[in-house]
Amino acid sequence: QVQLVQSGGGLVQAGGSLRLSCAASGRTFSSYTMGWLRQAPGKEREFVAAIIRSGGSTDFADSVKGRFTISRDNAKNTVYLQMNSLKPEDTAVYYCASRRGYGSRFSYEYDYWGQGTQVTVSS
């Protein structure tokens, strides 16, 4: 069992930055691929970014590529999502999630989920 606790998020103006954190319980954090997904009102949950166990490989949705970065600190059991140049269309509830195996863009392939955190970008 893995528990994921998120922090960060909030309200920011367009063009601003936010950093989300996700702390995992347990001693096997380094064996999980970590992902960030988001869900806007009335829309399906969508992939944002993922980072493999070692942190050596990352993947980003086209909509955030070049603006968001994902990183992890396995010593702290924490994954981060740095969001720069935020746009109103980035407004959503953001979730961190974990899965064994390789990175995935599909929400159903993630096993454990954080509680979600609201990110609101005003124009």
Query: How do residues 23-38 score in pLDDT, each as one tens digit?
Result: 999 778 989 999 999 9
Q: Are 16 and 54 contacting, i.e. CB atoms less than 8 angstroms apart?
A: no
The pLDDT of 79-103, averaged and rounded, is 96
* Distances from the Cα of 74 to the Cα of 10, 11, 40, 52, angstroms: 25, 28, 29, 11
Question: Is the model's pLDDT at 72 over the cut of 90?
Answer: yes
Q: What is the token pair recorded at 6?
A: 């998120």
